[in-house]
Structure 1
Amino acid sequence: MRPRALIAPARRQAALRQELWDRAVETRREWLEVGVSTKPADHTVSEEIIASLYARHGRPRPEFIRVPSPRAAIPYLEGLPTHDDLRSWLGDRRPPGRFPLAGDIAAGLSQLRSALEAEFTEPPRDRTPMKRRKGEAWPVLPPGQALDSGLPFHEMLIQGVRNALFRSLAGIYLPVRSALAHAAGPVPVGWYGQQDAAWLAHVDAIRRTVQPHLRREREFAEWSALTRSAGWWWPGEHRCVLVDRPVILRTEPVPHAWHEEIRLVHIEYADGWSVTPAR
């Protein structure tokens, strides 16, 4: 049996971890609302933040082109790099010219995400932490069992916030992207605006639970504001295509999901272009 002197601290630590998890769930729900919003995009905010990203990567402010749907963006996407184009820059025979802006933004964002997600301190434990062998993945567990078994809290955030929200939002943008590719061929590298919320929710959950002050807070705030204000967008060297948000977005819960995941039923844009995934 545990010494009586250890029982009270363990109970406090268990209550703290439950409270932190409740905050993380609320954070995930807030960002899911952003991801499925049909409120009009705030192009004024989006343009200013995107212009600052251009400046950060040594480009002048672009011409902004606003379109009502991803389908309406097709005429303006010619010449923008695809993922295969960016991968070609990693080989020995690089294409001529300057590395595409989309690649610069993606690389900068990857570094930012890694730095932000590394700012994590595990909260006090109420029990012996779960162990794993070197190279093994952590088990995927429902939240109650994860708390009871001593799964690291950061792994709980990864599973229950970042990964869960990614599944929900990728389940919206991937069918739209697939329909766009069917209509126009390979889709250039771009960002999904509000539907890029999964990594932001993860970092925000870290902020609201164990690390309230981030060293790169300004950049996090910038991407947060962009995600809250934007629809899809494609950055070119001299112009940036901004897509309005959908006017209809219907989803349904994923049966038996542990973290309130959803899936797309129907999405429609102001110009009438719509996508209904096959069931």
Structure 2
Amino acid sequence: MRLTPEQEAMAAAVEDQWLAAALDTAPAGRPAAEAGVREAYRQAGLPEPERIYWLGSPRAGAMAAAILASGTPNQASDAQSVHDAPSVHDAQSVRDALTRQGWTPGQSMGPSVRRQIRTEPWAAARERASAALGPEGWAQLGAAAGRRSWELVMDRVAGRIRLRLGEDLTADFPTARPRLLDAIYGQHDGVWLSTFEAADRLHSGLMAGLTGLAAVARHCGWWWAGARFAILTERPSLLARDNVGRLHRGEGPAIEYPDGYALWAWRGMPIPTDLAAELPHLTADRIGAESNAELRRVMLEHFGYERYLQEAGARSLHQDDTGTLWFLPLTGDEPLVMVEVVNATPEPDGTSRVYWLRVPPSTRTAREGVAWTFGLTPEEYRPQVQT
């Protein structure tokens, strides 16, 4: 089977709907999500969970899964496994949240049933869809209904959350980190559910076994499935991205959850909270003292390259009719080399705007740098008119 343009358009529309769900920041629809969990258990041939617990973030969810894994966590040993007091309080707050919802210490959620709930139904549905559509049709449908959202959601959002959670839990609650392997991604699973829903519209019945998972994905964040209990978490209450979908925010966290867990990021790169707090107050000296090259680049982008060149004492390498080439060495990184150019067209008030163009460190003349920004050699760059 090969999809028609109309079928591809249908698949893209389905993807748009699931992409919106994957990036939704509204409070979880708890009754609908819980109904979806029970349906997912039934579809997997499992008894419905005895109890469903709610936590405010995937971090709290992973901690709850660790606490409920044995059912009888030793609070003293937890305190020994973490590195600072606030994290101990976080662990206690998770226990308190579970207790308020009816958990009694000693009760275990049982072994993870993620394989039965998510992995096996996905594999069975994929086999049915591939048989119905044929290898070519299935691949074409996957490209039409999931390729764009996979990059925007799994690569640029969910993957970053998972990376930061792994780091945070390793430092604060080590026994919870392995529980990330048991997580079901809730709203972020929409990036693959969209392809199956589009397939179901072409051949009815291909969503069989996935409707429970789909209901949970439409209504909440990450979750954990145990043989006895399930743990569901809220969606983020804030999600800030740049124009290409990367996590990005300079004046606060790029992701924040209702319980206060947050992730700071600059153009897709997660940054430590202490650095994030420094960004509004950066100085050239502080940037120069940073030994981590990646963090220094974040600082430079926030501070402004041209401002840093001016305040850090860059030297002029070359000047011609195209502009001025500036050079500044950076410890542990390639030099900062930029061309200062003046806009040929004056502003309405008669002033001329100045632009700064970052160019390769090997650049030796201003003309060479400006030409490079156009993909030309210095000899080829000979504009007749500038606007």
Is the pair's TM-score, using the shorter chain for normalization, greater than 0.5? Answer: yes
Cα separation, 2, equivalents of 1:68 and 1:112: 32
**Aligned to 2:259, what secondary structure does the other structure show?**
coil
Contact 1:194 1:231 in 2 (8 A): yes
AA paired with 1:156?
A: Q
Alignment pair present for 1:104 and 2:94: no
One-letter identity of the residue aligned with 1:112:
A
1:200 maps to what in 2? 193
TM-score, structure 2 length as denominator?
0.49
Aligned to 2:182: 189
1:51/1:62 contact within 8 Å kept:
no
Query: Do structure 1's residue 41 and structure 2's residue 41 form an aligned pair?
Result: no
Provide the rounded CA distance (Å) in 2 between the counterparts of 1:53 and 1:268. 28
Superposed CA deviations along residues 52-89 of structure 1, whole A, max 9, x for unmatched, are 333444335232111111222243121659xxxxxxxx
Aligned-residue Cα RMSD (Å) equals: 2.8
Paired-residue identity, %: 21
Partner of 1:225: 215
2:377 maps to what in 1?
Answer: none
Is the Cα–Cα contact under 8 Å of residues 200 and 224 in structure 1 kept in the other structure?
A: yes
User: Could you list the per-position Cα deviations for residues 199-241 of structure 1 after superposition, in whole angstroms to 9, with x for gaps in the alignment?
Assistant: 2111222234xx2412x54433333222111211011232211
Q: Which has the higher contact order (CA 8 A, sep 6+)?
A: 1
**Relative to 1, partners in 2 of residues 1:120 and 1:60: Cα closer, same or farther, differing over 3 Å?**
closer
1:118 maps to 2:130: yes
User: Secondary structure of 1:66's partner?
Assistant: strand
Correspondence list, 1:189-268, <5 A: 189-208=182-201, 211-214=202-205, 216-254=206-244, 262-265=245-248, 266-268=254-256
1:133-212 equivalent positions in 2, closer than 5 A:
152-170=136-154, 171-185=156-170, 186=177, 187-208=180-201, 211-212=202-203
User: What is the letter of the counterpart of residue 230 of structure 1?
Assistant: C
What's the CA shift for 1:23? Answer: 1.7
Q: Is the 8 A contact 2:222 2:234 kept in 1?
A: yes
Deviation for aligned residue 1:49: 2.3
8 Å Cα contact 2:113-2:227 kept in structure 1? yes
**Residues 49 and 230, structure 2, Cα contact 8 Å, conserved in 1:** no
1:153 Cα deviation after fit: 4.8
For residues 32-52 of structure 1, the C-alpha deviation after alignment (integer angstroms, 9 at most, x for no partner) is: 111101121112122222123
Over residues 159-194 of structure 1, what are the superposed CA-to-partner deviations in whole Å (9 max), with x where a residue is unaligned?
232232222211211111111111213324111111
CA change 1:190–1:57 in 2 (3 A) is farther
Unaligned runs of 5+ in 2: 71-109, 171-176, 249-253, 270-297, 299-387
Structure 1 residues 107 and 153: alpha-carbon distance in aligned structure 2, compared to 1, 3 A threshold: closer
Contact 1:27 1:201 in 2 (8 A): yes
SS at match of 1:242: strand
Q: For 1:178 and 1:28, locate their aligned partners in 2 and report how far apart those are by CA, in whole Å.
A: 25
Residue 59 of structure 2: aligned partner: 71
Q: Normalised by the size of structure 1, how large is the TM-score?
A: 0.66
Q: Give the alignment partner of residue 274 of structure 1, picking from 259, 262, 273.
A: 262
Is contact 1:67-1:243 (8 Å) kept? yes
Q: Is the 8 A contact 2:187 2:220 kept in 1?
A: yes
Cα distance between partner residues in 2 of 1:212 and 1:252: 37
Q: Is the 8 A contact 2:69 2:111 kept in 1?
A: no
The one-letter code of the counterpart of 1:114 is R
Q: Distance in 1 between matches of 2:222 and 2:203?
A: 29
Give the letter for the 2:257 counterpart. Answer: Y
Local SS of the residue matching 2:242: strand
- Structure 2 counterpart of 1:245, one-letter code: R
The answer (yes or no) to whether the contact 2:49–2:227 under 8 Å persists in 1 is no
Give yes or no for contact 2:40–2:211 (8 Å, CA) kept in 1. Answer: no
Equivalent-residue separation in structure 2 for 1:158 and 1:59 (angstroms): 32
Unaligned runs of 5+ in 1: 1-13, 82-97, 123-137, 139-151, 255-261
Runs of 4+ residues deviating >6 angstroms: none
Check 1:276–1:113 CA distance in 2 against 1; reply closer, same or farther (3 A cut). farther
Q: How many correspondences in the alignment?
A: 211
